[in-house]
Amino acid sequence: MRRERTAQLRFARAASARMLRRMSTHARTSENWAETLARFLREEPGVEAVRLDPAARKVAVATLGDVDLAQLELRLAETLAAVESQLSLTAKIPAGYVLRRNGGTTEVAEVSCETAPSFWKWREFAWPELDEPESVEESEWKELALLAAACGVFGIAGFAVEKAGIGPGWLSRTLYSVALIAGGWDAVKDTWENLRARKLDIHFLMLAVAVGAVCIGAWGEAVLLLFLFSASGAMEDYALDRTQREVGSLLKSAPKTATLVMPNGAERLVNVDELGIGDRVRVKPGEAFPADGTVAKGRSASDESALTGEAVPVEKDVGAPVFSGTINLWGAVDFDVRRLPSESTLQKIIRLIQTAQKLRAPSERFTDRFGGGYTLLVLGVCAAMFLVWWLALGLPAFANTAEQSSAFYRAMTLLVVMSPCALVLSIPSAILAAIAWGAKHGVLFRGGAAIEKLAEIDTVALDKTGTLTTGELAVTGVESFPPGREKEVLELAYALEINSEHPLARAIVRHARAQGVREVDADAFESITGHGVRGQVGGAQVLLGRRELLERGPLAEWARTLPPAAPELSEVWVVGRDLVGRVLLKDQIREESRDVLSRLARVGIRTVMLTGDRRHAAENVAREIGLGEVRAGLTPEGKVAAIQSLRHEGHKIAMVGDGVNDAPSLAAADVSVAMGARGSDAALEQAEVILMHDRIENFLAAHQLSRRARRVIKQNLTISLGVVVVMAIASMTGAVPLALGVAVHEGSTVVVCLNSLRLLFGRNR
């Protein structure tokens, strides 16, 4: 039964949903960031322009006339949370607005008369920081618990004095009054804020019952009501705070400083935000990696559980990727920064979580819509029943007797049991708990809608490269012509590829180092555009690249007789002074793919591969992992058509992909799922579910979690609605005393919250 303020702070329902609804692909009318800013200007009276500088964390708003600065700052923060990660992308500005960019500053303004800008008043606001709400929320349950405890202590004292007849008559009422003030303090503050906004909510209902009970002399019942109300509020807030701490641990894992290694080898301690791409950073045992990068020197292992949920340490050697916020366990390593700290994997996770907590599920919107109207309905029903009991059935209006309770007493009881406290919290508490569990175990949900929809799917479409396979090539063989000189072929390939960042080169270098191949220097290195590279090794010219290198030279006739590589293999040819050979490479299948597909089949989910690769290569992969249905050779448009054809067959589809070419099909699917570590910005922008660290098995965890969350939501709705209906009927017959109504009402709210909290601790793998 945590109140409307909790709903606003925890889930940012009313205002943030308006600004962030564009991110729900359920409607398939996704806005770009410029459209979102334009809509912000359109919906905010008096706001003419907004100017953003994300790198400097500055934001300014131009206004004309009087504006409500507090509300403006809230809505501006919500808008920035929606657009911040997209500002680097190109966007189309809607008609009637202008877009200006000057260096790192972006300005969106309404088109108006030429003189209007001279009257604008620019106001600067603080750029919203992701961890600001944590400190505010963390201690709120403690304050509520203290107030509830004071209410209980003074209430018991007042009851004891009253029953024992100790002291003057006003003493018990004074103690009761102190208890009522403590128990109702938080509700009074929230009710006052809502009344100023011309809204009625559950706080108003509770206070009305307490005041009514005091008016008829039921001081004890009034204290019991507010004690249970404030105590259950504290317990609910603690449960939600526990959920927030699951996510908050990610924020705390972000390091604030880094040890920068200077070109002369000296160390310098700098703030993390001073790091740039290419900087070399040293991380000692027990320290957190301050940015995403690649190990350049040293060997260690890292604890990546905060990002992926994987408890086993991950070995890190030269060339291995490292991620911001993960812990270096035992060896000192130097790594080269590959992403700015603000764009690291950890920061993307934090931004996605913040957005997810503000996006509401469809069923949650249902409970939001009737909040104010339901409050008025309850007041109307209770007023009508008071008149019925008093005028039609002849019950005393206010005076309770030993034989029967008064009409007003029954109306107050009915008011309590019909209050929808448990119903209001039944959905958002489950959604937030599911989001928190996912975030701690490598699954990011972009809002409650994704959780609900994922539970309904019956078909999963998967891209091949980077999804079912790792997207990283590995050497499967080395051949020489004539045979017998394979080691020399690998040695020459290693010499020419050692300084390249091409995926083929990385695979060759990894394999050569693993085989212990000696490193030789290549001179006069030169790239051959579109075909390969050349250089001199040991004074002799060496070529490395595609088969066309052979077919265009003096070996052309002989090259046509060479056996082609298998369709699923890539080949790199090496031509030396007296040596010709090739290195064969293959995209590696994820070891987990076979098990994932098998388990999906066991729960009745159909799986389909959608890939742009050749059919022969795709079918080889499908046979190896046990996937029966393949649609190969697809363009991005072809993937969209395949998704649409599956939907026309009546299927609910989840699309799993990682590349730019997957973005259209992700948008076309009912639920879009992206691989988080190697996923393109386009894919991540469309994704409603993100699998961090490219762990395909996390899709199973996400699906099972969504089904558990849906079951918990149904249980919560059944409990909350059932209690309201049963207790309302019982109250109308006069069979329920006010104290029992209060206890059952508050108890159902606590049960709902604790039931949702089970999602944090259950296994979803």
Per the listing, tokens 């009054």 go with: 177
- The one catalytic residue among 463, 658, 662, 670: 463
Interhelix angle for 738-761 vs 407-417, to 10°? 0
Contact 12, 357 (CB under 8 A): yes
The answer to whether 368 is a known catalytic residue is: no
Cis peptide before 482 (omega within 30 of 0): yes
Rounded-to-integer distance, Cα 318 and Cα 391, Å: 86
Three-state helix/strand/coil letters over 585-635: EEEEECCCHHHHHHHHHHCCCEEEEECCCCHHHHHHHHHHHCCCEEECCCC
Residue type for position 9: L
Q: Which residues pair with 267 in a beta bridge?
A: 261
Residue type for position 519: E
Rounded-to-integer distance, Cα 727 and Cα 745, Å: 9
Provide the 3-class DSSP secondary structure of residue 523: strand
Within 10 angstroms of residue 727's Cβ, the number of other Cβ atoms is: 22
Rounded-to-integer distance, Cα 14 and Cα 16, Å: 6
In degrees and rounded to multiples of 5, residue 317 shows phi and psi of -125, 180
Instruction: Fill in the DSSP letter of residue 388.
Output: I
482 token code pair: 């004539």
- DSSP states of 223-281 as a string? HHHHHHHHHHHHHHHHHHHHHHHHHHHHHHTS-SEEEEEPTTS-EEEEEGGG--TT-EE
Handedness of CA 305, 309, 313, 315 (dihedral sign): negative
Beta strands at 105-110 and 97-102: parallel, antiparallel or unpaired: antiparallel
Rounded-to-integer distance, Cα 482 and Cα 581, Å: 8
- Through-space distance between the first and last CA atoms of the chain, rounded to whole angstroms: 31
Rounded-to-integer distance, Cα 545 and Cα 493, Å: 9
Contact 260, 188 (CB under 8 A): no
Residue type for position 577: R
Nearest 10 degrees: Cα torsion 725, 728, 730, 731:
170
Cα distances (Å, whole numbers) of residue 625 to 443, 467, 654 = 23, 12, 19
Q: Which helix (H) or strand (E) holds 423?
A: helix 421-426
Rounded-to-integer distance, Cα 696 and Cα 652, Å: 20
Catalytic residue numbers, as ranges: 463
